[in-house]
Amino acid sequence: MPPYNRTYKALNRVLGKAIHQYELISHGDRIAVGLSGGKDSLTLMWLLQERKNRVPIDYFLYPIYIDPGFDGGFSKDLICYCEKMRYHLSVDFSNCGVVAHSQKNRENPCFLCARIRRKRIFEIANELGCNKVALAHNKDDLIETLFINMCYAGEISTMVPSQSFFGGKFILIRPLAFADENLIRKFARQQNFPEFKNPCPTANVSKRLEIKEMLQRLYASNKKIKGNIFRSMRSVKRDYLL
């Protein structure tokens, strides 16, 4: 892929917009980057590394992968890829996925697995001396989370681009918060990022996937709907809520 084609420019523009609007990255930051092996996290790592080489501030990146413990995992392949890219990957071999999918927790395995993985990322980030944790949630993820929380948690809330944890000890950042999933998918394809098969047994039957499919039907009916939903999260008329 040419280094500055249209897809790269569009993606870099929304990345920069989020970083500047929410002051996500500062000089001297030590940033733990959560890698899942998916297109979003590989794109985030690539963009942050590329940006690091051309902006006037210096920051440090520490990619982390939490192996959920399923049979057929791809840790070795991800390690090889990161070595090729000169990323210094930290891998934590856990059993969070197995525990979350045990017979004692059949109702919501995704929630528990994500919570355990998030905890381990913070613990490893602390060991590495990081002050920020970057996750690769995109615009579609934020919209889907809004609907998941309304439908299954009974509240109006979503993920935010910057969030403080543990009394300000860590700042969780989401630099791809303004990026469309389709744009990321196109970029990942152009970059020939490897495709790692998700070994999770419920990867294709989650509540998030149900919400995603519902939203895709809405988007297909009117191309303005996605943008309107995203803007609505910053244009809340509290006087018209219960």
Residue 208 in domain: yes
| Full DSSP string of 9-36 | HHHHHHHHHHHHHTT---TT-EEEEEE-
Q: What is the pLDDT of residues 12-38, one digit of tens each?
A: 999 999 999 999 999 999 999 999 999
Tell me if 162 is assigned to some domain: yes
Answer whether residue 194 is part of any domain: yes
Within-domain flag for 1: no
pLDDT in tens, 47-99: 999 999 899 999 999 999 998 888 888 999 999 999 999 999 999 898 788 77
Residues shown for the chain: 242
* Closest to 16 in 3D by CA, of 59, 60, 51: 51
Q: What is the mean pLDDT of the chain?
A: 92
Residue 101 falls within a domain, yes or no?
yes
Instruction: Give the contacts of 55 (CB within 8 A, at least 6 positions apart).
Output: none
Q: Is residue 29 included in any domain, yes or no?
A: yes
Decide if 143 contacts 229 (C-beta within 8 A). yes
- Number of structural domains (the chain) is 1
CB of 138 within 8 A of CB of 15?
no
CATH of the domain at 148: 3.40.50.620
